[in-house]
Amino acid sequence: MPSEQQLLAELAALRDEVAGLRAIVTSLETENNTLSENQLIQLQLIKQLREVAKRQPQPLQQDRGEILRALLAANGGKMLAKDARLKMHLSKQLFSMLLVTIGEYIEIRPLYSDNRKKLLILKTS
């Protein structure tokens, strides 16, 4: 059976360990709060950058948008998205970004005979 002195020594050691663990938890909570604040700031900055990017198309995007509008106008205001992309020699990713940028001028609908294909329609107004 352990003596009273041994039990007191073990209790003191456990109290020291608990105090050390509390200090570590406090430190981790502080670090977590800082990281959360930094993440919130980063998300706000990303949102601002996206808004700026949406508002101001790049000159090349503007040129490509005008070309696409002219291409649609030459084809009666309607054209399959795949055909337009191939005529403009753009990758799928660039063409998709172009459609997002100039979306106010062009409407995108699924083709009535095949919903997998997309039909580009020039908006009038």
| C-alpha closest to that of 64 among 121, 106, 125, 116 | 106
Largest CA distance in the chain: 99
Local confidence band at 78 (pLDDT 50, 70, 90 cut-offs): very high
Q: Are residues 42 and 90 in the same domain?
A: no
The model's pLDDT over 35-76, given as tens digits with 9 standing for 90+, comes to: 999 999 999 999 998 887 766 777 888 899 899 999 999 999
Find out whether 65 and 105 touch, Cβ atoms under 8 Å: yes
Question: How is residue 45 written in tokens?
Answer: 């900055």
How many domains, in total, are found in the chain? 2
CA distance 6 to 95: 77
**Domain region containing 36:** 1-56
Decide which of 56, 71, 98 is a domain's last residue.
56
Q: Which helix (H) or strand (E) holds 106?
A: strand 106-110
Q: Residue 18: its pLDDT value, please? A: 93
